[in-house]
Structure 1
Amino acid sequence: MTLINVNLETFIRTTINQKHNVIERHKWGTKTPVANKLVKDWNFDSIVLHHSGNDGKTDPVEIEQYHMTKKGWDDVGYHYLIHSNGTIYEGRKIFHKGSHVAGANTGKIGILLMGDFDEQWWDVDDNLSKTHLAATNRLIATIKSQFPHSIRKLGGHKEYLPNKGYSCPGNQVMDKINEMRKKHGLSKP
């Protein structure tokens, strides 16, 4: 990797983080990523939306603990985690390949909407708030502006692995995703 690429990666990461007052990983994380095992990734073509699911985790530290301790991953799987109050947390640094689409992470930026957005009769779910959705849309717009020639797709996790039976990012997010694609000029995966 050349010095120009490293400087560009750092510039784009800093631009996104500053524009959205992103709480960077070193400010909230409790575990150190296994840096020597993280793989560089920069040729992004997709943004993938996720939700916490039935456990509804809304604390980035809990998500970090789950990913690194229970799943044995090298870092948090997502690049960004968005709380329902609009706060955005940095997960895995954007220049590292995520762990959020099993076997198909290359070229994909992972965004987690913290909460459970899959309505089921047997559990209490979160409601997708206007604040949560607005923060997500602002972040998508900024990411797209930083990768104007490469980001072409926006999808829910389940759309990237259609034969796996996933419901992620939940029906509440999926109900909004076509509108989001239209708003940002992105296509379905």
Structure 2
Amino acid sequence: MADENIRSIQTGLAGVGYSPGPIDGIDGPRTRATAVRWGQGAPVAARDVAPVTTSMIYQGSARYPAREIIVHCSATRPDWMDGDGIDAQVAEIRRWHRANGWRDIGYHWVLGRSGELRAGRRETEIGAHVVGRNNGTIGICLIGGFGSAETDRPEVHFTDRQLVQLRNQIEAISMRTQITTVSGHNQYAAKACPGFHVPTWFKGA
């Protein structure tokens, strides 16, 4: 059963840069280990980055400052809708998300297999891509990633063009708002998505 005190601790740990796992109110081993690291003054994960601009994007009527980019995947096969094009793929993802009762696609950006970039929600809108962490985050979805694992290397499931464009887009967003964190969906949920460890990839390790 979820405990609101545990949920508050998880939210606080995530807010200062740690990765306690899903914000679910469950006192699991990852939450406990992260709390110990925080208590010991251990450094946060390598996903933290220094802002490169003084500009800020604010989301929603509450004006949440957008400080984090979270990377996702569509969990589709490499040949999914092959030949239909990125616009058709984005339309299909939008259909999935609306079927969930959402008003629009949950991501702010979608990256096709050939590196094509398409906009989803406006960056000034709150997304719908990570439970408990949509406020103040920008979601980017890579097409692909079917059957991936959290520990896979990104080039196993995504093309070179996608990964180059992903890095370019992260840098472009970072010029529009004070991004301090670049992470993957799997850091906040028990999922493989996006199919690799984003901080390690982003830091060039």
Task: Confirm or deny a common fold (TM above 0.5).
Answer: yes
1:53-64 alignment runs, 5 A limit:
53-54=75-76, 59-64=89-94
Structure-1 separation of matches of 2:160 and 2:200: 16
**Is residue 2:111 matched to residue 1:82?**
yes
TM-score (norm 1): 0.63
**Is residue 2:61 matched to residue 1:45?**
no
AA at the equivalent of 1:90: A
SS in 2 for 1:178: helix
Question: Corresponding residue for 1:167?
Answer: 192
Q: Does structure 1 retain, via aligned residues, the 8 Å contact 2:112–2:143? A: yes
Larger relative helix fraction? 1
Deviating 4+ runs (over 4 angstroms)? 54-58
Give ranges in structure 2 of 5+ residues lacking alignment: 1-54, 82-88, 150-155
AA at the equivalent of 1:63: I
Q: Give RMSD over aligned pairs.
A: 2.6
Give ranges in structure 1 of 5+ residues lacking alignment: 1-7, 13-37, 121-125, 184-189
Q: Does structure 1 retain, via aligned residues, the 8 Å contact 2:185–2:193? A: yes
**Is residue 2:180 matched to residue 1:152?**
yes
Question: Corresponding residue for 2:129?
Answer: 100
Q: Does structure 1 retain, via aligned residues, the 8 Å contact 2:148–2:193? A: no
Structure-1 separation of matches of 2:133 and 2:157: 29
TM-score (norm 2): 0.58
Structure-1 separation of matches of 2:77 and 2:103: 21
Question: Corresponding residue for 2:162?
Answer: 132
Q: Does structure 2 retain, via aligned residues, the 8 Å contact 1:82–1:132? A: yes
SS in 2 for 1:47: strand
Shift of 1:117: 5.1
Q: Does structure 2 retain, via aligned residues, the 8 Å contact 1:52–1:112? A: yes
Q: Does structure 2 retain, via aligned residues, the 8 Å contact 1:53–1:117? A: yes
